[in-house]
Amino acid sequence: MSLAAISEGFRDRRLAAALTERIRENKAGPLRIMEVCGTHTMAIFRHGIRSLLPAEIELISGPGCPVCVTATGDIDLMIALAAKPGVTLATFGDLLRVPGSEGKSLAMARAAGARVEVVYSPADALDIARNTDGLVVFPAIGFETTIPVIAATVLEARSKNVRNFMLLVSHKVVPPALEVLLSDPELAIDGLLCPGHVSAIIGEQAYLPLVEQFHMPCVIAGFEPLDILSAVYMLTRQAGRGQARVENCYGRVVSKEGNAR
């Protein structure tokens, strides 16, 4: 069976209608669910998930965009590095227009003469370093999902003795970010739709402290319509029962322990 055929199975309209009806039957009352991952946000819009849900269920977008959570101080540092003689900043294109503390961006710095190169992967940045004598700096942004490929690039640089390749590390990890958000009494979140990609790395157990500390229902989901609707159903079921636990409806990818490799 092809991957396309498998994906279509998770978009079955009949099953989606049945799940939607089950969600309505739960009658969990007003419920605010935060989808943590930016990919979930896009999938919710693409598949019209909000239009399928009862009016009392509100989906709120969380901190899942790696560019959006990059600190202005880090942008300032990138701009300063790119302006130094002999330095090339090799970055993802998404960062170009993000403003720093004074409203300046990498795109503006490049227009003013700074060496800023757009790359599609850290491996591309390493290739630039191999072919230049100057220092090449790669801004390492993102969550747990980007860390492995960047770490692999560091190992490659070491094995090839590339000494003019450096990282500006600005990684974030999801559980502490969620802990900060849930500590805010004004947030008023009733459940978390937890990210599939990140959870494949950190596993189900990474969310247990959120359940224990904040009594927060957590459900891990994939990115197809039935994945998301199943997660919403599980969250409404937990809310209706007054429960808070970690559930995983993306078991085809996510394990309890995650992937430590």
CATH number, domain 3-65+174-248: 3.40.50.11750
Q: What are the distances in angstroms from CA 219 to CA 15, 43, 247?
A: 19, 16, 5
Which H/E stretch holds residue 17?
helix 13-26
Strands (E) across 57-122 are located at 57-64, 87-92, 116-119
pLDDT of residue 6: 45
Write the CA distances from 47 to 13, 77, 111, 168, integer angstroms. Answer: 11, 39, 39, 36
3-65+174-248 with 72-171: one CATH topology? yes
* Domain 72-171, CATH class in plain words: alpha beta
Contacts of 217 (CB under 8 A, 6+ apart): 190, 191, 192, 211, 235, 238, 239, 243, 244, 245, 247
Domain boundaries of the chain, sorted by first residue: 3-65+174-248, 72-171
Render each residue's pLDDT in the chain as its tens digit; 261 residues: 444 444 556 778 899 999 999 999 887 789 999 999 989 999 999 999 999 999 999 999 988 777 878 889 999 999 999 999 999 999 999 999 999 999 999 999 999 999 999 999 999 999 999 999 999 999 999 899 999 999 999 999 999 999 999 999 999 999 999 999 999 989 899 999 999 999 999 999 999 999 999 999 999 999 999 999 999 999 999 999 999 999 999 999 999 999 876
Token representation of residue 164: 């003019």
